[in-house]
């Protein structure tokens, strides 16, 4: 039996304490960007980007400290953080405040729902991860390339009523009969499991030439070649490599702690 050569320095000896995550609190700018705090992931900042103006990014009071006013700034933001790849479980959570949002029609004829954030490769094959809203805010949507799932708020409610709302989308990393298990939470309460053509497995692609890194608050109209900035305010964006439980999401909403 021959020995296999290896470099022991490349082995992980200490796992990160707590959930593997990255967070943008939007409490202020450092060198023109919003800094990130991270555990087990690269802490890549969000850089204000896109939109028709070069206004200085605007901050407003948020649920915890300051919040990013995309509407007043006329900017979204882009990070060098590539996102989470493959079939890994994940949770995306954030606070938003706004009113009805614009939408656009793609060249293929379908309506593009306003994107809160996205990463990955366009097209099919389950290669992207896009957290979106119906333009009236009455449904939360995840699109992952060739498939999507949507959950309506109860009693005709909307997260675009001019008040702050906490939104979370959780992918367990599991598929049942080919459909990924995805749950949505609004203000700490789980929504009924959604509907949609969830027939493509999740397989987020972050390394291809067409892949987009984490992008927030921008809707590309494609045919017009312009970028629409979502008229929103956003606070405390958290992405974890774990599927958080209902109790963990409620604690995050109430205390801003994982």
* Greater model confidence, 24 or 221: 24
Which pLDDT score is estimated for 186? 98
**Residue 224 reports pLDDT greater than 60:** no
Q: Comparing 19-33, 67-81, 241-255, which segment has the lowest mean pLDDT?
A: 67-81
pLDDT for 1 equals 43
Kindly state the average pLDDT of the residues 87-107.
87
Higher pLDDT, 223 or 178: 178
Q: Phi, psi at residue 145, to the nearest 5°?
A: 95, 90
108 — pLDDT class (breaks 50, 70, 90): low
Over range 184-213, report the average pLDDT.
90
Burial of 88 (0-12, 13-18, 19+ CB in 10 A): middle
DSSP E strand stretches across 99-245: 104-105, 111-112, 115-120, 128-133, 139-143, 148-152, 165-176, 179-186, 189-190, 212-216, 218-220, 227-229, 232-240
Of 102 and 10, the structure prediction assigns the larger pLDDT to 102
Q: What is the mean pLDDT of residues 94-98?
A: 97
Where residue 74 falls among pLDDT bands split at 50, 70, 90? Answer: confident
Q: Which residues pair with 55 in a beta bridge?
A: none
Taking Cα atoms as reference points, which of 202, 203, 167, 197 lies closest to residue 185? 167
CA count, 13 A, side-chain hemisphere, 79: 25
Predicted pLDDT of residue 70: 92
- pLDDT tens digits for 9-51? 444 445 456 899 999 999 999 999 999 999 999 999 999 986 5
pLDDT higher than 60, residue 2: no
Closest alpha carbon to 183 in 256, 248, 118: 248
Whole-number Cα distances in Å, 127 to 25, 121, 147, 173: 27, 5, 10, 14
Cβ neighbour number for residue 19 with a 10 Å cutoff: 16
Q: What is the DSSP letter of 182?
A: E
Q: Which of 87-91, 107-111, 186-190, 222-226 has the lowest mean pLDDT?
A: 222-226
pLDDT tens string 120-138: 998 788 999 999 998 899 9
Q: How many CA atoms lie within 13 A of 201 on its CB side?
A: 12
Q: Residue 114: is its pLDDT beyond 90?
A: no
Exposed e or buried b per residue across 181-215, where buried means at least 16 C-beta atoms within 10 angstroms of its C-beta: bbbbbbbeeebeebebebebebbbbbeeeebbbbb
Q: What is the pLDDT of residue 179?
A: 84
Is residue 244 scored above 80 in pLDDT? yes
Q: What pLDDT does residue 226 have?
A: 61
Domains and CATH numbers, the chain: 82-255 (2.60.120.200)
pTM as predicted: 0.89
Q: What confidence score (pLDDT) does residue 26 get?
A: 98
Q: What is the dihedral angle through the alpha carbons of 18, 21, 22, 26, rounded to the nearest 10 degrees?
A: -70
Interacting residues of 252 by C-beta distance below 8 A, sequence separation 6+: 93, 168, 238, 244, 258
């Amino acid at each position: 039996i021959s020995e296999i050569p290896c470099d022991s320095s490349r082995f992980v000896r200490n796992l990160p304490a707590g959930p593997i995550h990255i967070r943008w609190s939007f409490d202020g700018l450092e060198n023109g960007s919003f800094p990130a705090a991270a555990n087990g992931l690269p802490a890549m900042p969000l850089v204000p980007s896109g939109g028709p103006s070069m206004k200085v990014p605007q901050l407003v009071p948020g649920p915890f400290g300051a919040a990013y006013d995309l509407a007043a700034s006329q900017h979204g933001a882009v990070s060098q953080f590539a996102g989470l790849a493959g079939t890994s479980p994940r949770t995306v959570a954030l606070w938003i405040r706004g009113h009805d949002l614009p939408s656009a029609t793609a060249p293929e004829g379908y309506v593009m729902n306003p994107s809160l954030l996205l990463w990955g490769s366009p097209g099919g094959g389950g290669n992207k991860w896009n957290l979106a809203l119906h333009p009236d805010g009455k449904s939360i949507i995840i699109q992952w390339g060739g498939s999507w799932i949507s959950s309506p708020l109860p009693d005709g409610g909307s997260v675009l009523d001019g008040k702050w709302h906490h939104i979370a989308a959780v992918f367990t990393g599991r598929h049942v009969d080919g459909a990924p298990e995805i749950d949505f939470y609004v203000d700490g309460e789980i929504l009924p499991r959604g509907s949609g053509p969830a027939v493509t497995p999740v397989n987020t692609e972050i390394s291809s030439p067409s892949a987009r890194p984490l992008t927030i608050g921008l809707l590309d109209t494609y045919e017009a070649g312009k970028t629409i900035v979502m008229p929103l305010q956003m606070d405390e964006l958290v992405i974890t490599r774990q599927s958080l439980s209902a109790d963990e999401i409620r604690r995050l909403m109430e205390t801003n702690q994982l």
